[in-house]
Amino acid sequence: MIITLKKSTPQVEIDRLTEQFENFGVKVQYLEGRDYKLMGLAGDTTHFYESDIKANEWVVNVQRIAAPYKLANRMFHPEDTIVEVGNIRIGAGQPVAIIAGPCAVESEEGVCRIAEEVKKAGAAMLRGGAYKPRTSPYSFQGMKTAGVLALEEAGRRNGLPIVSELMSVDKLDEFAEHVDLVQIGARNMQNFDLLKAVGSINKPVLLKRGLSATIEEWIMSAEYIMAAGNPNVILCERGIRTFERMTRNTLDLAVIPIIREKTHLPIIIDPSHATGDWKLIEPISLAAIAAGADGLIIEVHDHPEQALSDGAQSLKPEKFAELIRKGRLVAQAIGREL
């Protein structure tokens, strides 16, 4: 970290700052420039926050050299993390994992029917929301506990591990008991109490990127979960808010190589929430596989026009099966299984 100080900074202030930083175990080097004074901090600076240091009236600028995250950082953990969910392994070099299912669990029969279809098509895991983060309080809010149990039953019958979204800490035990992969939704990416809570359980976590989160903020949220004791985090890009209105969100596919470089965690893509349009799911999914995604999470419904949420972006089972067939060819072309 490099701190730029005003040329007029008194020596007593420099001594005080030096002592303050050294107390945290970092080494401080001082350089007197022509127009400014500079302090270089070497060592673990993750405990320092740029804006706290900028509060000092003598400080002109603070520049971080090392990333503010440690546990998620590829630099300190060069090997790829492979996250195991039931019998499925997700991560670099593993087969591309396809997670599919309805946006929301609507009934046990319904989710069992869709589970059978996605299993037949080649999905590795079943998704389905039981607690839904809806923009309107008047929209379907999910089947809650009954939905979790119905999803569990559908997964059990078809031999598919299940993923579902946890919205609040008070349902942590329910998820730890019944859900194989705990999803933290975009809207809760910076719900730090929830992140710490899922950090304390022995279940892998699917962490979606927040609606307007930078990549670094997203990685810092993974760091929260890891710092609380849970190393099994999968990152999921689901599009971000931009000025563009032709798609529900704007998919940032560049995150695949960026996350791969900055972290050792698996990265998957959600083309459904990224585009909001079933017609765009196939091309975007194929592009994500080609770009090296470790998996996809796709909404599938057998009667999208009757779906209680996100019907417009849900694929019918036949289209989903076709997507998997094409996805296999793309995966093969880059030397990967699916």
Return residues touching ligand PEP (CB under 6 A): 103, 129, 133, 165, 185-187, 208, 238, 270, 273
Q: State which of residues 125, 310, 330, 336 lies at the interface with Mn ion (CB under 5 A).
A: 310
What's the min distance (Å) between Cβ of 78 and Mn ion?
35
Closest by Cα among 203, 107, 110, 124 to 158: 124
| Sign of the CA dihedral running 284, 290, 293, 297 | positive
* Rounded CA separation 293/334 (Å): 11
d(CA 306, CA 213) in angstroms, rounded, equals 32
Position of minimal CB gap to ligand PEP: 185
294 binds, among ligand PEP, Mn ion, none (CB under 5 to 8 A by kind): none
Per partner kind, with CB cut-offs from 5 to 8 A, the member of Mn ion, ligand PEP, none near residue 319 is: none
Residue 283 contact partner, candidates ligand PEP, Mn ion, none, CB within 5 to 8 A by sort of partner: none
In the DSSP assignment, the letter for residue 80 is: P
Site string for Mn ion, 79-118 (x = CB under 5 A): ------------------------x---------------
Q: How many CB atoms lie within 10 A of CB 290?
A: 16
Name the segment binding Mn ion (CB under 5 A); options: 23-31, 33-41, 182-190, 303-311. 303-311
Shortest separation between residue 263's beta carbon and ligand PEP, angstroms = 19
Q: How far is the CB of 183 from ligand PEP (least distance, A)?
A: 6
Distance, in Å, from the CA atom of 105 to the CA atom of 111, rounded to the nearest integer, reads 6
Q: Which is nearer to ligand PEP, 186 or 195 (CB)?
A: 186
Nearer Cβ to ligand PEP, position 44 or 217?
217
Structure tokens that stand for 287 in this block: 């592009």
Give the DSSP letter of residue 269: E
Q: Which is nearer to ligand PEP, 91 or 142 (CB)?
A: 142
Cβ at position 314, least distance to ligand PEP in Å = 11
Q: Which residues contact 52 (CB under 8 A, 6 or more apart)?
A: none
DSSP letters for 287-324: HHHHTT-SEEEEEB-SSGGG-SS-GGGPBPHHHHHHHH
Contacting residues toward Mn ion, per CB under 5 A: 103, 310
